[in-house]
């Protein structure tokens, strides 16, 4: 069964600290993995996409990694800011075009 | 550049009533989607459309009806609302290439409460 599991479900960190969010998937055949950020009361917005051949990709303070062998991805946030408080959703695309959504990690950055 | 807009943003209705959620996009994207988001379930696909007059069921289509007479509009109708349909509904759109890469552009959501 195609599944995407994210951990932790929720996370509280202090402003300026780093954090790492995890995404494990069992989707096959795998096409790509995308991380979305969803601010409270808003729709999700794409942060980055990881394809099979990519190991690491950065977007400002956000760095995504992908290990296609272990079927794991992580999203690392450096020097967190209050505006990073949001839900982060991992979405895996199968080669057939189906999107499988994770349940998200709720990140709260406190001053 | 309005992008993708949903209306209403908030709606309270009663069990058994018909409700229509509107979605309008200005990008001329081929694909449009309706998702619902509930605690513990994440985003679940209700219906999608590959083009005008072409629609297909998603993961949780029961109790919902869609139509797409124009490329830019994709309304979602709950013909007889039930309490289990209380949720936040997101409309999204995508170009053809974006569907393969999972690049969806979401609206702001419509929060529906069924009493």
pLDDT at B2: 66
Smallest CA–CA distance, residue A12 to chain B, in Å, is 18
pLDDT above 80 for B74: yes
| Average pLDDT value for residue range A103-111 | 97
Which chain A residue shows the shortest CA-CA distance from B111? A41
Report chain A residues touching chain B, CB-CB < 8 A.
31-32, 34, 41-46, 49, 89, 91-93, 97, 99, 101-104
User: What was the pLDDT predicted at A105?
Assistant: 97
**Average pLDDT of the segment spanning A77-95:** 95
Average pLDDT over residues B52-79: 96
A93, B57, B71, B77, B92 from B50: Cα distances, Å: 17, 11, 9, 18, 12
Average pLDDT over residues B106-113: 97
> Which residues from B are below 8 Å from A43, CB to CB?
90, 92, 106-109
Query: Which positions ≥6 away from A87 have C-beta within 8 Å?
Result: A37, A38, A40, A104, A105, A106, A107
Q: Bridge-partner residues for B10, per DSSP?
A: B111
Q: Report pLDDT digits (tens) over A33-73.
A: 999 999 999 999 999 999 988 899 999 999 999 999 999 99
Residue range B84-98, pLDDT digits in tens: 999 999 999 998 877
pLDDT exceeds 70 at position B61: yes
Contact A34 B42 (CB under 8 A): no
Sheet containing A56-59: give its strands across. Answer: A4-7, A19-25, A72-77, A62-67, A56-59
Q: pLDDT tier at B100 (50, 70, 90 boundaries)? A: confident
Q: How confident is the model at residue B102 (pLDDT cuts 50, 70, 90)?
A: confident
How far is A16 from B107, CA to CA, in rounded Å? Answer: 30
Q: Parallel, antiparallel, or unpaired: how do β-strands A105-110 and B105-106 relate?
A: unpaired
Report chain B's C-alpha Rg in angstroms: 13
- pLDDT value of position B85: 98
Which of the residues B4, B42, B46, B110 would you substitute to probe the A interface, choosing the one with the greatest number of A C-beta atoms within 10 Å? B42
- State the Cα–Cα distance between residues A85 and B64, nearest whole angstrom: 33
Average pLDDT over residues B20-39: 95
Instruction: Say whether B90 and A99 touch across the interface (CB within 8 A).
Output: no
A104–B101 C-beta distance less than 8 A: no
Q: Which residue has the higher pLDDT, A28 or A15?
A: A15
The predicted pLDDT at position A98 comes to 86
Residue B8 pLDDT grade (very low, low, confident, very high; cuts 50, 70, 90)? very high
Q: Residue B1: what pLDDT? A: 58
Mean pLDDT of all residues in chain A?
A: 94
DSSP E strands in B2-109: the ranges are: 4-7, 10-13, 19-25, 31-38, 42-51, 54-57, 64-66, 76-78, 87-94, 105-106
């Amino acid at each position: 069964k195609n599944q995407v599991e994210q951990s932790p479900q929720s996370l509280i960190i202090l402003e300026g600290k780093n954090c790492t969010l995890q995404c494990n998937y069992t989707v096959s055949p795998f096409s790509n993995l995308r991380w979305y950020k969803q601010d409270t009361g808003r729709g999700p917005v794409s942060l980055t996409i990881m394809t099979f051949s990519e190991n690491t990709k950065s977007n400002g303070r956000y760095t995504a990694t992908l290990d296609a062998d272990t079927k794991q991805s992580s999203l690392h946030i450096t020097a967190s800011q209050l505006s990073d408080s949001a839900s982060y959703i991992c979405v895996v695309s199968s080669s057939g075009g189906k999107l499988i959504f994770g349940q998200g990690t709720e990140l709260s950055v406190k001053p | 550049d309005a992008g993708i807009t949903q209306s209403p943003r908030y709606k309270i209705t009663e069990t058994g009533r018909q409700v229509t959620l509107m979605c309008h996009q200005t990008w001329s994207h081929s694909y449009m989607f309706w998702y619902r988001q509930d605690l513990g379930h994440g985003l679940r696909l209700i219906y999608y459309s590959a083009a005008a007059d072409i629609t297909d069921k998603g993961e949780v289509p029961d109790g919902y009806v869609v139509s797409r007479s124009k490329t830019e509009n994709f309304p979602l109708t709950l013909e007889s609302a039930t309490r289990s349909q209380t949720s936040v509904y997101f409309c999204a759109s995508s170009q053809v290439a974006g569907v393969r890469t999972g690049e969806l552009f979401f609206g702001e959501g419509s929060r529906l409460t069924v009493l």
